[in-house]
Amino acid sequence: MTLNTLYLSYTGCQATDVQKLEEHVRQFCKTYALKLNTDLGQHFLVDQEVLDAIVDASGIHTEDTVVEIGPGIGVLTKELLTRAAKVVAVELDARLIPLLETYVEDDPRLEVIQGNALRVPLPKEPYRIVANIPYHITSPLLRHAFLESDITPVSLTLLIQKEVAEKICDTQHTGLLTILVGLFGTPEIIADVPPSCFLPPPQVDSAVLHIQCFPEPIASADELKKIFSLTKIAFSRKRKMLSNSIGKQPGGAEMLKKAGIHADRRPETLTVEEWVKLAKVDLTPTFYHP
């Protein structure tokens, strides 16, 4: 089954699936007097069809290690444990950890880490990230996975804000996040998910985003540093032409010329491949600081 065949678009979730799982989660929270903290992005997914889509899209095999960020009480965790050899769940809210272990019935394949996922070292062996993450950590988490880990994940399957997922996949109007992801993998939206699929419902629409990572990024370590330096300058003046951002820096105009990139273009029109091409120019402008 290809990822395209998994694509789901909801005008509303399946009522029976939502009601059954939502009631189960609601009763579980009531039993343990749990009040959710929406400031931490605690919106539990309560739709079985979306859960299945996430797990199917992730491509988990029986020998895989999966890192889950923000597992909550373990609704997604329980599904991941039906496929993976091991699940490492990183939860910031210490209140939820005993409830998580109870919900998944103390499965020995589950390792729970209490802490900030952006500071917890990721595994040094191959792993996948699958998570319904707090939406405000989307960008920091991607940077952590791609730039601060010993090895990049095999893939990431994330339930995030729909608008952000669309921006990541928009190759016609690129942004900093589009470029970051495009350097390390291929993104694809698997499912649109409305607020009614969560408890409590968030204020925004959501989407399941799958990123299949390349074995290696499409640029070298030095080129990546150069790209991030160039994009920081270019996107700080997003509506201006490259001639008025990179081109104004010492050596910048020559760099654009050697890369064959017209200086009258705006940064959002450049593809990821063009940023790599720019970084490969055998010229180090004085404004570049690795």
Query: What are 46-71's pLDDT values in tens digits?
Result: 999 999 999 999 999 999 999 999 99
Do the domains at 4-213 and 221-279 have one common CATH topology? no
CATH number at 221-279: 1.10.8.100
What are 97's two structure tokens?
Answer: 């950890």
Q: Is 263 helix (H, G, I), strand (E, B) or coil?
A: coil
Alpha helices in 170-207 (DSSP H): 176-184
> Residue 186, SS3?
strand
CATH of domain 4-213: 3.40.50.150
Domain spans, the chain? 4-213, 221-279
pLDDT digits (tens, 9 = 90+) for 218-272: 999 999 999 999 999 999 876 789 999 999 988 899 999 999 999 999 999 999 9
Report the DSSP beta bridge partners of residue 67: 88, 129
200 cis-preceded (ω within 30 degrees of 0):
yes
Backbone CA torsion sign across 193, 182, 228, 117 = positive
pLDDT in tens, 117-145: 999 999 999 999 999 998 999 999 999 99
Q: Residue 114's closest CA among 70, 81, 75, 76?
A: 70
Q: What is the mean pLDDT of residues 83-93?
A: 97
pTM over 0.85: yes
Helix (H) or strand (E) holding 102: helix 96-103
